[in-house]
């Protein structure tokens, strides 16, 4: 299996249950979002599904789908772009208090590396469809200013810069690369 995780490789990324992704909005995160957004914007984002991880119809699937996609990211993307501290990311995921922007960006990057079975169980017709869905949700969270942690913004922008969507989109890899450079400068990381 070249570069994909299949249903048979469903060893848990986290080694523990229950899966925190079974609640559609991370604990603590909804409070932050509520304070930042007016009710109309929040309703719009909820309608677009940005607060759902993974999509609702995946929650009944025996395979822990969200974890399979995260595992694919760490197995196939992270070795070439090691921009996240895996243990810290997993702790945040397990606690249910994580960045939705970074989570969607991570799922977008990992979706290309899971089997078609997992993609179909998530309700997507293709890997590209899953990538478009996850990257669109990350983009909406970015556009609405829902992510305020500069490091999470940087990490998500780098990941979204690597998501190759062949259709014409306003925010392509150049947009995300520019934002990554801008955030690196803001964090003063270029000097290290």
Domains in the chain: boundaries:
21-147
* φ/ψ of residue 113, rounded to 5: -115, 15
Long-range contacts of 30-37 (CB under 8 A, 24+ apart): 32/146, 32/148, 33/100, 33/146, 36/144, 36/145, 36/146, 36/148, 37/144, 37/146
In angstroms, the CA 42 to CA 136 distance is 16
Distance of alpha carbon 121 from the chain centroid: 18
pLDDT in tens, 32-71: 665 678 889 888 988 998 887 764 334 333 446 678 888 8
What is the predicted pLDDT for the residue at 35?
67
């Amino acid at each position: 299996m070249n570069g994909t995780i299949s249903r048979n490789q469903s060893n848990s990324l986290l080694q523990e249950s229950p899966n925190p992704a079974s609640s559609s909005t991370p604990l603590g995160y909804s409070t932050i979002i509520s304070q930042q957004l007016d009710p109309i914007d929040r309703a719009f984002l909820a309608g677009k599904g940005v607060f759902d991880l993974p999509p609702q119809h995946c929650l009944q699937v025996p395979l822990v789908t969200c974890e399979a996609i995260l595992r694919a990211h760490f197995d196939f993307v992270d070795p070439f772009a090691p921009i996240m501290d895996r243990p810290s990311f997993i702790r945040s995921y397990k606690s249910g208090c994580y960045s939705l922007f970074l989570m969607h960006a991570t799922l977008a990057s990992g979706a290309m590396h899971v089997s078609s079975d997992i993609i179909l169980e998530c309700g997507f017709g293709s890997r590209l469809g899953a990538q478009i869905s996850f990257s669109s949700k990350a983009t909406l969270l970015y556009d609405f200013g829902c992510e305020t942690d500069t490091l999470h913004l940087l990490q998500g922008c780098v990941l979204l810069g690597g998501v190759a969507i062949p259709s014409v989109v306003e925010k392509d890899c150049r947009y995300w690369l520019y934002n990554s450079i801008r955030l690196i400068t803001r964090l003063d990381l270029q000097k290290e």
